[in-house]
Amino acid sequence: MNDLIQKLEPRVVWENFVDISLIPRRSNEEGRAREFVQSKARDLGLESTADSAGNLLVRKKGRGGGREKPVAILQSHLDMVCVAEKGTSHDFGKDPLRLRSDGKYVMASGTSLGADNGMGVAAMLALMQDDSLETGPLDFLFTVDEETGLTGALDLDPGLLRGRRLLNFDTSEEGTLIIGCSGGMNVVSTFPFTKIAMPAESGHFSIGIGGLTGGHSGLDIHRHRANAIKLLAGLLLEVGRVMRFPICGFEGGDKSNVIPREASAVILAPKGKEEWLERTALDYIAGKRKEYGPDEPNLQLEIKEAMDFQSKGHVMDAGSVARLAEFLQEVPHGTAAMSRIFPDVVETSSNLATARWGDGTVTVGMNCRSPVDASMDALAASIKKLADRFGMYTALGSRYPGWLPDLDSPLLKKARAAYKEKFGKEPKVRAVHAGLECGVIGSKAPGMDIISFGPTIKDLHSPRERVEISSVDRFWGLVKEMVEF
C-alpha cells in the first residue's frame, strides 16, 4: 500500500487513511483503532480521554492568532460497515483491508472500504499533526459503534462537549454541505409458524438469490434496487400458486442499515418436481432481470439439492409459508415521502432489512427513517398493524433523534463563502436521509451550530465502496478553511 499513497495528495491524509485501514475496526470492536489514535495523541503531546462508552476525545490548544477563538469540535466515527463479496475470504476481526486504485477511485479488494468514516478519521489525524494552521482550540471527537445504531453518540458523556461548533466529516458527496439528517428506529416483527414433521419422500432444495447491488438503507433507498428478501418471498408465492410446500429454512439480509443483497430458503418438494421447480424459479428471475434491468446487472439465482441439510425438526408447514411470503411482500420497503424543504431528498422511508430463521419463528427486522417524529411513528405503526394481521409480535427498538436544518447557521455561511472562494462555485446545501451522529450530539448540547461535509464516497456499505481521489484534496482544503474560522 506504500506504492499506492506515493501518488496521492494530500499525502498526510492518505497516509493516515492507509494506517487506519490496516486496523480491523468493525462496530463494537474499535479498541485497536482507539488505541492507535491515543498513541498518536501521546506522540504529539496532546491530551486525550475516553468515556465509558469507548468514545475518545483528543484536545489540541489554539495556535497563533487563533488562540482566543471559540472551541471547535471535529467529529468522525471509528467503526466501519464490514461486508465482503460472496466467495471472498476476509476476517474482519483480524485482517487488514487490501487497498487498490484504478486511478480515479481507491477501493478495497473484495470488501467494503471503510472510507465511511475512515476518511474523516484520517483528516482529523492529519489536523492533529498539522501545526501550521492558526486555529482556536480543537476537540477531536472519535465516536464508536455508529454503524449499528449510533450507540457511541447516544451514550456519549455530555461533559466532554465544551464547544458549541461541530464539524462532522461523515458525508459522502464532496461539494455538498449537510445541514440536517433523519432520525431512525428499528422495528422487529416475529412470525410464529406451525411446525410439522419432516415429510416423507421429499427432497431438500436450496434456493438462493444474490448478486444484488444493495447499498445504504437511507442514502440509496430511493434508487431502483431490488431487495433480496422481497424477491425470495415473491418466488415462494410464485411456486406456491401451483404447488404447496413446506420449508425448513429462510434467511436474508445482513444489517439493519443495508439493503439486502442475498436471501435463501430450503424448500421441501416432492420427488420428481426438481425440473419444474427449477424452471419456475428461472422464469421468475428472468422476469425480475427485465424489471430491474441495468440497476441489477448481477442478479443471480442458485437452486440445488441440499443433500447434507440438517433441519433439526424445524419444518414450517405450507400454510405458514404462504402467510410469511405474503407479509414480506406487503411490508413497506422504500420511499414513503419526499422532503418538502429539499424536494429531491427522501424524508421518510423503511428498509426490509433482515429475516432470521429460528425454532418455530422467523424474525423480521426493519429500519424506519425520518427527521419528523410523527412520520416515523406513523410508519412504524403501519408496520405493526400489518404484522398484527399476520399474527406476529412486534417490538419497537430504541430510536435516535434527527437534526433539523438551520439556514441561518454561522458555520453554513462560512462554509458556503469559503467553498465558493476556494473552488469558484457554490456548494450544494441539503439534508441527508441517513442517521448522522450530528442529531444525537446536538441533542446533548442544545444550540450547537453544526455542519457536515466530506469527500465523495460511492456505494457505501457494500463491497463496491470507493472514494474519489480528487475529492479528498478538495475536502481537505475546506477542512483547513473551516478550522481557522
**146 included as an active-site residue:** yes
* Residues ≥6 apart with Cβ < 8 Å to 446: none
| Distance in Å from the first CA to the final CA of the chain | 35
User: How far out from the chain centre does Cα 285 lie?
Assistant: 27
> What long-range pairs does 303-308 form, CB within 8 A, spacing at least 24?
303/205, 303/206, 303/207, 303/208, 303/277, 303/278, 304/205, 304/206, 305/203, 305/204, 305/205, 305/206, 305/274, 306/204, 306/205, 306/206, 306/266, 307/204
User: Residue 115 has which C-alpha cell?
Assistant: 472510507
Catalytic residue among 15, 19, 145, 146: 146
Catalytic residue among 19, 30, 79, 145: 79
Indicate the residue type of 239. V
Whether omega for the bond prior to residue 10 falls within 30 degrees of 0, making it cis, is: yes
* Residues ≥6 apart with Cβ < 8 Å to 248: 198, 204, 266, 268, 309, 311, 314, 315, 316
Q: Are strands 176-181 and 428-432 parallel, antiparallel or unpaired?
A: parallel
**79 included as an active-site residue:** yes
Q: Cβ atoms within 10 A of the Cβ of 429, count?
A: 18
**Whole-angstrom Cα distance, residue 399 to residue 340?**
23
Q: Buried (b) or exposed (e) across 119-135, using 16+ Cβ within 10 A?
A: bbbbbbbbbbbeeeeeb
Degrees to nearest 5, angle at CA 26 with 370 and 30: 105
**94, burial (CB in 10 Å: exposed 0-12, middle 13-18, buried 19+):** exposed
**Whole-angstrom Cα distance, residue 403 to residue 438?**
7
Q: Which residues are catalytically annotated?
A: 79, 146
